[in-house]
Amino acid sequence: MKKFLITGGSGFIGTNFINLLSLKRHKILNIDKISKISTPDKFKKIYDKKKYSLVRNNLEDPNKVFQILNKFQPDYIINFAAESHVDRSINDPLYFIKNNINSAINLFHAYCQYYKKKKIKLFHISTDEVYGSITKGESKENDAYEPSSPYSASKGGADLIASSFNKTYGVEIKILNLSNNYGPYQFPEKFIPTLISHFLKNKKAPIYGNGKNIREWMHVEDSCNAIWKSIISKEKFKKMNLGSGVRVSNIDIAHNIFEIMKTKNLTNLKKDNFLKMVKDRPGHDERYALNTKFFKKKIKYKIKKNLKEGLKETISWYIENDKWIKNVNKSYNFRRLGLID
């Protein structure tokens, strides 16, 4: 049994990763500030609650973070902590920059102090959005960052700080750049949950711009398993892309979800009238595509869920977990974000 310290373990990917760790019988400490969009522990699938604990902390004080590390004595640290909605970052860039960069540097600083006592690895979870939009080809690990939104800039900044700490202090922060995730526990305002909720209510779903923006989609269970394989791997790396290779436009995702739900009689919308094209958000990247040759060759993890299977499971999850949806909806006022007057 190993000890895992998880930051941001009440967010979308963090929650799924804790569920995975719990099945593997490891001891888990979750550090999370617990916001309106967090997943309460009562909704997590924690196998052994005696091996799980939560510390409510926003990573603002590196000394307090070090005290937590020193007390728990983790074998691994995985950093999921970040605000992650592009539209929100457009409306409030200062909050995103302050939160995502400051929380990262405070964690890294505390980790450096802890590393002097116990030389462990810290895995910093990032995004493909840091590379910016590419018209063709694939983004490689050594490509320059060209972020388009305050969110992706804040994540890119945290990545660069991680790299600088490795060079300056000789620590081992591993950066994992993930492609777009979907699946259980994703906040309802995100793209795929928004489509599902609209179709269930027989409401036309909004699509930004012309809907041709392409993303690389990976089910969150595959992402968590890929992260796990990366953690336990003996391969040496400083930075690695984790993606599925499944690149599909937003409008095609909408069509796929609608067809699945229509076939199961989950919506009464008509096939020629189920989408509403709305004003695009500024700086909307056209295409993401990750080069994952190193990941495939060295980590040797094969994606298990194809897109159609993953979407079917995701639709079923949101229908079956309406209590989780209602819990989120009670504390959050949904409105269109990402527009500039």
Question: What does the domain layout of the chain look like in residue ranges?
Answer: 3-185+218-247+285-307
Q: What is the value of pTM for the model shown?
A: 0.95
Per-residue pLDDT band for 341 (boundaries 50, 70, 90) equals very low
Which of 88-92, 109-113, 139-143 has the weakest average pLDDT?
A: 88-92
Residue 152, CB-side half-sphere exposure with 13 Å CA sphere: 22
What contacts 59, CB < 8 A, 6 or more positions away?
7, 31, 33, 65, 81, 102, 103, 106, 107
Structure tokens at 294: 């190193």
Give the right CATH number for 3-185+218-247+285-307 from 1.20.210.10, 3.40.50.720, 3.50.50.60, 3.40.50.980: 3.40.50.720
Q: Which residues are catalytic?
A: 128-129, 151
What does the pLDDT read at residue 331? 60
H or E stretch including 52? strand 52-56
Instruction: Give how far Cα 324 sits from Cα of 25, 204, 331, Å.
Output: 25, 23, 12
Which of 34-43, 67-76, 196-205 has the weakest average pLDDT?
A: 34-43
In this predicted structure, the answer to whether residue 339 has a pLDDT above a threshold of 70 is no
H or E stretch including 65? helix 62-72
Which of 36-40, 86-90, 100-104, 193-197 has the weakest average pLDDT?
A: 36-40
What does the pLDDT read at residue 25? 87
Question: What percentage of the chain has pLDDT greater than the value 90?
Answer: 84
What does the pLDDT read at residue 160? 98
Tens digits of residue pLDDT in 46-58? 777 889 999 999 9
Whole-angstrom Cα distance, residue 1 to residue 271?
A: 52
For residues 170 and 232, the answer to whether their CB atoms sit within 8 Å is no
What does the pLDDT read at residue 45? 77
- At residue 70, the 3 state secondary structure works out as helix
pLDDT (mean) for 309-314: 98
Torsion sign across C-alpha atoms 281, 282, 286, 289: negative
Tens digits of residue pLDDT in 242-283? 999 999 999 999 999 999 999 999 999 999 999 999 999 999
